[in-house]
Amino acid sequence: MKLPRPPSLSLMTKVPLTVTVVVFASALLMGLVVIDRDWNRQKATLETQTLTLARATAAAGRMHIVNGDVWALYRILRQIRERSPADDGLAPVVEAAFLKADGTVLAHSDPRNNPVGLRLKTADRLGAARLQYALKAGSAQLLPDELQSQGYIDTVAPISVDGVPVGLLLLRGSTVGLAAQMKRDAAVVLTFALGLALVMSMFGALISRRMVRPLQELAAGLDAVGRGELPVSRRPRRPGRDEIQQLNRHFGNMVDELAEKKNLERELAQSERMAGLGRFAAGLAHEVNNPLAGMLNCVNILSRRADEPELVRKYVSLLETGLRNISTTMQALLGELRGEKAVTTTCKAGCLQDIEAMVRSEIGDRPIVLEWNADMSDFRDFAVRCTCPHINQMVMNLATNAIAVMPEGGKITFSSRRTGDSLTIEMADTGPGMDEATMGKLFEPFYSSRPGGTGLGLWITYRIVQRMGGSIRVYSKPGKGTRFVITLPLVSARDIENGENIHAA
């Protein structure tokens, strides 16, 4: 059988209750110990007094026994019985008897029930045992504890003349008065213990209130902190050295530090938002400036050779492509800023050839040789999870960086090919190359190793490649040029037929 669990009490109740129980139990236990010691001491005193009385009475009756003066013996017994309990501090005598050496009654305090000349009556085996022990006693003494009756003190005093036993005295004293006194003392102790427990319970209640209230405030504060709230810290008016005040003080310090940290986090978040906005603005400017530079070159060429229809059609088409790329770039940047998912689509056929014209326009009159190998013949049944403007953006960023690091001329090599289920795009230059430290920071925003660079082109390229599920690698050594390799996943014709939002390249 499972016992019910005791009710859970609050600390406000436990403290005064514990103090009350401990004080009451301690006071009661100490009082009972004192009463027990007093009982033993007074009982020993009564036993000594009773034995002394027995000896004195036996001595007083010795000559009367020799003379056979029964009446004198009876008067002696009556006198000691009539003596009050307070007289001489003696215990009250409840029974006394002068006996002959054979146990015959000479005088008894109760002569009606114990006639003279007859053997002393015994009510039970214990009484008979007492009589037998008394007849054999050689000196005045208390009867052994096992022969004593509850609430009485039994003594025996042998009487002899010239060494010859002529009789004995049996004397029984009562401890009823002593027991009554001990009961009164126990009542006093119990009353004192209850009164002391009541006083201490009120004191314990006061202590518990002063102790529990700070703990309750601390628990409420911890609960508020757990919910993300920061309560106003309440420090003690008089800082003390006890553990609860120290705990409250440390909690107040923690709340203050958390509030300061929260304010700093709020300011940091605001700074990060402003920094993100700045990065977005810088990236937007960078991505718009790249096609604008090529478009300005186209405009300059058109302004000088406006009378050539074929050239006008070619460069107007490039201008249209550049404007469309700018629009797509802005939409992509805004979508990334809002956290939108990229749309899975692909570039149109001939997209990479169109980029060639824009790269050549970006090169302009610089002494840079461009080798362009964009082979799209092997992509008939596959598509790229990327939009044309995104590919344009990636290739133009790489080409612009390559042109910028070769101001005195050089060679740029571009190639695209299918490698398994991926589209591989490579862009290499014969520029000064990079060391390991520079390549380690190459794709970090706002990092640039050349004067005037924004450090955003490669970072944006890296983000686009990541969003398309591809990878970008760089190979470079100082003085030996740089080669970028971009790998983008392809989608098979089966996926195209299943409704993917793509267009075959």
The CATH number of whichever domain residue 383 belongs to comes to 3.30.565.10
Low-confidence ranges of the chain (pLDDT < 70): 1-12, 83-91, 211-212, 216, 228-245, 272-291, 293-294, 321, 324-325, 328-354, 376-388, 447, 449-456, 493-505
Are 36 and 162 part of one and the same domain? Answer: yes
Residue 83 falls inside a structural domain = yes
Evaluate whether 14 touches 157 at the Cβ level (below 8 Å). Answer: no
What local confidence, expressed as pLDDT, does residue 325 receive? 65
* Nearest of 484, 477, 353 to residue 425 by alpha carbon: 484
What local confidence, expressed as pLDDT, does residue 87 receive? 45
Are 298 and 175 part of one and the same domain? Answer: no
Q: Distance between CA 38 and CA 253 in Å, rounded?
A: 59
Residue 60 falls inside a structural domain = yes
Residue 347 falls inside a structural domain = yes
What local confidence, expressed as pLDDT, does residue 349 receive? 40
Are 412 and 282 part of one and the same domain? Answer: yes
Are 63 and 174 part of one and the same domain? Answer: yes
Residue 40 falls inside a structural domain = yes
The CATH number of whichever domain residue 68 belongs to comes to 3.30.450.20
Judged on CB neighbours under 10 Å (0-12, 13-18, 19+), 453 is middle
Residue 363 falls inside a structural domain = yes
Residue 58 falls inside a structural domain = yes
Residue 156 falls inside a structural domain = yes
Are 139 and 277 part of one and the same domain? Answer: no
Domain of 90, in residue numbers: 11-182
What local confidence, expressed as pLDDT, does residue 472 receive? 92
Looking at 134, 161, 182, the residue that finishes a domain is 182
Looking at 147, 182, 217, the residue that finishes a domain is 182
Are 178 and 277 part of one and the same domain? Answer: no
* Nearest of 394, 395, 476, 396 to residue 429 by alpha carbon: 476
Q: Distance between CA 138 and CA 502 in Å, rounded?
A: 131
What local confidence, expressed as pLDDT, does residue 45 receive? 87
Are 158 and 289 part of one and the same domain? Answer: no
* Nearest of 465, 442, 460 to residue 282 by alpha carbon: 460
Looking at 149, 182, 215, the residue that finishes a domain is 182
Residue 4 falls inside a structural domain = no
Name the DSSP letter for residue 452.
T
Contacts of 274 (CB under 8 A, 6+ apart): none
What local confidence, expressed as pLDDT, does residue 24 receive? 82
* Total count of domains within the chain: 2
Are 278 and 171 part of one and the same domain? Answer: no
